[in-house]
Chains A and B, each alone.
Chain A
């Protein structure tokens, strides 16, 4: 069974600072994908970034980067130069990459990020 743990229920950061949101995972799969989603107060789930377990380089998407440490089973999200619009819930999720079987995403409990002006 897969499990995602996000240990920070809430974080408060000053605007323009960088922030790291923690995510650790547990899986017996050899091949898997790790995802981060943002959920603003309006409710929609917005895909941010993806990291494959066999990717050698950390994924980056604009101000978002994923600090992937496979041996530690961690996939932390780093947001550089935070903005007021970054205030939201952030979810880490994973699923197996193999083509057969379940494709469900397993989510962590989320971290509520608040950016202060």
Chain B
């Protein structure tokens, strides 16, 4: 597609359930990033993929969070046993290569609400 695609756009689930968020990056982009945006914490980095490997997963808040990327393309962010503090907008971005001078292009995000 022309831009980064994320699904679902909105997700409402009960506390304790698992959720999967999907990101389809811009075709040809080798680097993929996940961020979280919440009112109290602003924009926080979660994890960075170069190809299928994750050189930096330092932003994942707990072991309930995991992510994978397959085929150098689609990525899935999984949150297990969701908690209310997980409510946020989860943003995915991609860039041509994983270098600091490459702009990251963002998707529209998934708004996650934990009841």
A positions within 8 Å CB-CB of B: 31-33, 35, 37, 42-47, 50, 52, 91, 93, 95-99, 101-110
Contacts and interface: CB of A to CB of B under 8 A. Distances in A.
A102 B104 CA distance: 14
Contact of B100 (A43, A44, A47, A95): A95
B100 A32 contact: yes
Contact of A109 (B33, B42, B105): B42
Contacts of A42: 108
Contacts of A52: 101
B48 A102 contact: yes
B98 interface: yes
Tell me the dominant secondary structure on chain B's binding face: strand
B43 interface: yes
B58 A107 contact: no
B99 A103 contact: yes
Contact of A103 (B31, B35, B91, B108): B31
26 contacts: A31-B100, A43-B89, A44-B106, A46-B106, A47-B103, A47-B104, A47-B106, A50-B103, A93-B43, A95-B100, A96-B100, A97-B99, A97-B101, A99-B99, A101-B55, A102-B56, A102-B58, A103-B31, A103-B50, A103-B95, A103-B100, A105-B33, A105-B45, A105-B93, A108-B42, A110-B42
